[in-house]
Amino acid sequence: MALWYSTRATGALSLVLLTASVVLGAVDVTRWSSPRAPRFVIDAIHRTTSLLVVAFVLVHVITAVLDSFAAIRLMDAVIPFASRYRPVWLGLGAVAFDLVLAIVATSLLRGRLGMRAWRAIHWLAYASWPVALVHGLGTGSDVRPGWMLWLSLVCIAAVAAAVLVRAASAAAPTRAFAGTAAALVVSGIGLLAWVPSGPLASGWSEKSGTPKKLLGGTSSARNSHAQQQRTTAPHRGASTR
């Protein structure tokens, strides 16, 4: 159960940190420097937040792999849509993870790549955020209780506000703001149409690709799995002796 809760907690925290990183990048934090908060300090906060995303995602992946309940393999974290457990939604998590790894790797090689190539790849951060968001809603076990849904809504609002602020400061602010606002509205409508009929709908566990042997209630299935491990452990020890 400790691994189970660790996976859920680090997944939610990774989304919050990724949201903070995207917001800091979207509003171009270097423009908000002041004598009390110099540019290099704000830039360091942005960089540290991005590194924390990678650290917590790694813990999220490791705890999910170590928890044998869902039988998630290490390769499932980096190879999209190869998992037997909720392949589409877990695959989206692998896509987001790969994008974040690409950003970190190119940032470490920033001096050799050049500013133009690095900046082009760095825009992947914006792509990794919505993919990670949908992964959390589609795979997460805390959407129906409500707290994960509310957390996701707060993250969506923060990113939407940051993107609109960035669009308003563009070279052609009216056109950029209108296009960004339209894209946000369309995305919001799509999300509102999917969530009630998807993660919030009954039978979503089966529809999302949960193996039949794990269905029948996550808690009861997990308790049965834990009980089976406790009862088989002494038998295995006796057989080796």
The residue whose two tokens read 């960004």 is 180
Block mean pLDDT (10 aa), the chain, length 241: 89 94 77 66 82 92 88 90 91 92 80 78 82 90 83 94 84 81 92 91 86 64 47 40 33
* Domain ranges for the chain: 2-227
DSSP letter, residue 55: H
> Tokens in use for 23?
């917001």
Query: For residues 152 and 44, what is the distance between their CA atoms, to the nearest angstrom?
Result: 26
pTM for this prediction: 0.82
Query: For residues 165 and 60, what is the distance between their CA atoms, to the nearest angstrom?
Result: 31
